[in-house]
Each structure stands twice: as C-alpha cells, then as structure tokens.
Structure 1
Amino acid sequence: MAQPDDRHFIDRALAGDTQAFALLVDRYKNLVYTLALRLIKNTEEAEEAAQDTFIKVFRSLDKFKGESKFSTWMYKITYNTCLDRLKKQKAAPYAVPIDDYGPRQLAVTENILDRLDEQQRHRAIQECLKLLPGDEAFLLTLYYFEEQSLEEIAQVLGIKANNVKVKLFRCRKRLGDIIRMKLEPEMISVYERERK
C-alpha cells in the first residue's frame, strides 16, 4: 500500500491533527539534520537548527501553497535557519584551493571513485563532504543525495538555476580536490599509469 503524500499530512496538520505533523517530522528529520550538519559542521548546533527548522515549518505551514515540492520548501527553511545561525557564529569555513584543478583531474577522481564499491564510495564522499565549506556541502547533498533539480535548488537558495549550475561545478571541483588529497596516492598513480 502506497504511503500518503506530504499534502495529505499537511492538510491534516492544518486541520489540527498534531500527529500528522509528527509524521511529517519523522519523514524529514534525518534529511533536515544532515543538511544542517553539512552547513553548520557542528552536531549540537545542527540538532538545534533542525529543531528550529521544524518549529518554523509548523508555524508557517499555512503559507505552503504547493507551488514547489514540500521537501524543497522545507530545504529552503533549513538553509535559511542554518545561515542565520552561522551569521551569529561568524564561523570561517575550511577552504581548499582549486586553482590547479582542471577537467583531467576531475575525470581521474571520478574514475577512482568508480573503482570503489558502493559502500566505500559513499563513505569516502561523506567524509570529504565534511571538509567542504557548509554551503557547498549543502548544495552537493541536495543535488547528488536528494536528487533535487537545478530549479528546485535555485528555489531553496533563492538564486537562478544558472547560478546553481556554476556553483555546482565549482563545488564538484573542490570536492574532487579533497577526494584526491584523501584517497591513497597509490590508487591515483595506478589509475594514471593505466591511462597512459
């Protein structure tokens, strides 16, 4: 039996059914926390940001008009809540230079990742995402793990889809650089020798 869609629970919650909202929270709690952690980089702060997000969602549920997916609307609230927290903290993100990183290095990194089994690849990417600045980790998580479209991400971030595409390209390059630094150099050299 198919699970009811988000609209079903939203309508019930708006009618006063708090259990329906609890089911929405349960459906999205892991994702909201993961996105908050990607952006804030601190588990306690991410937990608080996730709680704040759900409070804001509950208080403004009547403002959700269904013009986008509910998840997109919620991601936007998560993003803005985390940005507010970061502004208060004025935290400086970890930065990785990408000046010398070109298309060839990106292809090498992606091919190395292809050689890893799915679990190893997932773990390697998750570890490397932690080293990215929060906004970049957030963007890559939405695109690759939540499979949000460029248009949906643009709604979340409040920018145009073309800007998302540019940011995504830069984030992938930076992530590739981190992956190259983290993966064993032997794997890279073996792959590069095979390509010659």
Structure 2
Amino acid sequence: MMTLEERIHRIQQGKNSEFEWIVEEYKNKIYTLAYGYTMDAYMAQDLTQEILMKVYQNIRSFQGQSSFSTWLYRVAKNQCIDWIRKNKRRIDHTILEDGEREFRDLRPSPEEKAIKEETNQRLYDALGQLPERYRVPLMMFHFQELSYEEIGKALGLPSKTVATQLYRGKKLLREKLLSKKGDDMPWTVLL
C-alpha cells in the first residue's frame, strides 16, 4: 500500500492516475469547505470541481513543507475566496436548496429522515446567517472534525484565533437557533 507522499510524488512525476485516489480521499472535505463559503449545495459541487482542478494543476508546486492536507486546504480556501469575489451578488441572493446532505445516517427510517432533514435545514439556515469568519471554522471543526491547529493552518490563522472564532460562532449560532418561537428542536444537544 502506497503512502500519501509516494502517491503525491508519482503524480508530480506524471502518473496522473494516482490523482483519483486524492479525489476520493478529499472530495467530501473539500465539498464541506466549499459549502461553508457558498451555503448552496449546487454551487458547492461546482466549486469542489474547480478546487480539485486547481489542486491537480498545481500539485507539482507542493514541496512538502507542510502536510498535504494543509496545502490542499490553503488552495481550497483561496479558490473559495476567489469564487466569492466573482459571485458576490449571486451569493447575497442565494436560497438554500433542499438537496442531499453529505452527513446523513445510513438508511434512516422515513420519520428519522424527515426530522434530520428539517433539523439540518434549520441548522444550515442558521449557519448561513453567520459571518464567514465564524461559519467556515465551525463547519471545519464539526463536520470535518479538524483540530484548532489544522483549521488555523488551513485558514492562515493562529490556533487561539480559531478557538475564539469557534466560541463566538457557537454563541451566535445558539442565539439564532434558540431565538425562534415555537421551535421545539433540542438545539442544546448540538451546541
């Protein structure tokens, strides 16, 4: 079994077939990051493709001075920021699609599925209202299960800043979720 470093070296030497492994290994994490910036499933899918193309085009520049995932997240973050700049008007008027979610249980009952979809929709709606500086670290921490240090490296921030942003983001998210009257969802479990 090849190590990640061996795969990257083979890709850098022109063995492009190895890139499929990179795609399979990282596409869901990249999608989650892209979704954190776009808050739209279809836009996030398109952006994920753009990011993977950018990684493919620039993988020869990876020197191994940081971990591959850190380098990949930097490329992804920069591509997301560029995309946001180009599509600012489009994002400001985006309504969330009720598309498939990446984080669903395997074969839930119809009732569980409906409850989970409603919960996810409310959560994503509330996340979409948060400023980007809180939304993206929250999604990276909770959905990708990255550490403060990994998030900091990916976003170019000190770990303490990430901790502060996560704390403030959770607080804002909690306020948004608990502020709806008549909402009987158990949000405190999530927060």
TM-score (normalizing by structure 1): 0.68
- Determine the structure 2 residue equivalent to 1:25: 23
Which residue of 6, 9, 17 corresponds with 2:7? 9
Q: Is the 8 A contact 2:32 2:144 kept in 1?
A: no
Structure 1 residue ranges without an equivalent (≥5):
95-116, 192-196
- Determine the structure 1 residue equivalent to 2:82: 84
* Aligned partner letter, 2:18: A
| Whole-angstrom distance in 1 between the partners of 2:151 and 2:180 | 28
Q: Could you say if the C-alpha distance between residues 120 and 135 of structure 1 is closer, same or farther in structure 2, counting changes exceeding 3 Å? A: same
* Aligned partner letter, 2:61: K
Q: Could you say if the C-alpha distance between residues 89 and 8 of structure 1 is closer, same or farther in structure 2, counting changes exceeding 3 Å? A: same
Q: Could you say if the C-alpha distance between residues 186 and 81 of structure 1 is closer, same or farther in structure 2, counting changes exceeding 3 Å? A: closer
Q: Could you say if the C-alpha distance between residues 55 and 185 of structure 1 is closer, same or farther in structure 2, counting changes exceeding 3 Å? A: closer
- Give the deviation of 1:44 after TM superposition: 3.5
| Whole-angstrom distance in 2 between the partners of 1:64 and 1:135 | 26
Q: Does 1:178 align with 2:176?
A: yes
- Determine the structure 1 residue equivalent to 2:49: 51
In the TM superposition, what are the counterparts of 1:132-151 in structure 2 within 5 Å? 132-151=130-149
Q: Is the 8 A contact 1:38 1:135 kept in 2?
A: no
Between the two proteins, the alignment pairs up a number of residues equal to: 164
Structure 2 residue ranges without an equivalent (≥5):
94-111
**Equivalent residue of 2:64, what SS?**
coil
In the TM superposition, what are the counterparts of 1:18-167 in structure 2 within 5 Å? 18-91=16-89, 120=116, 123=120, 125-126=123-124, 128-167=126-165
| Whole-angstrom distance in 2 between the partners of 1:70 and 1:182 | 42
Q: Is the 8 A contact 1:32 1:78 kept in 2?
A: yes
| Whole-angstrom distance in 2 between the partners of 1:19 and 1:166 | 41
Quote the sequence identity (%): 29
- Give the deviation of 1:83 after TM superposition: 0.9
| Whole-angstrom distance in 2 between the partners of 1:93 and 1:165 | 27
| Whole-angstrom distance in 2 between the partners of 1:9 and 1:183 | 53
* Aligned partner letter, 1:26: E
- Give the deviation of 1:45 after TM superposition: 2.8
Q: Could you say if the C-alpha distance between residues 187 and 148 of structure 1 is closer, same or farther in structure 2, counting changes exceeding 3 Å? A: closer
CA deviation string 1:22-57 (max 9, x = no partner): 111121112212210121123333223212211221
CA deviation string 1:33-86 (max 9, x = no partner): 221012112333322321221122112212223333322221221111111111
TM-score (normalizing by structure 2): 0.70
| Whole-angstrom distance in 1 between the partners of 2:32 and 2:184 | 32
Which residue of 142, 166, 169 corresponds with 1:168? 166
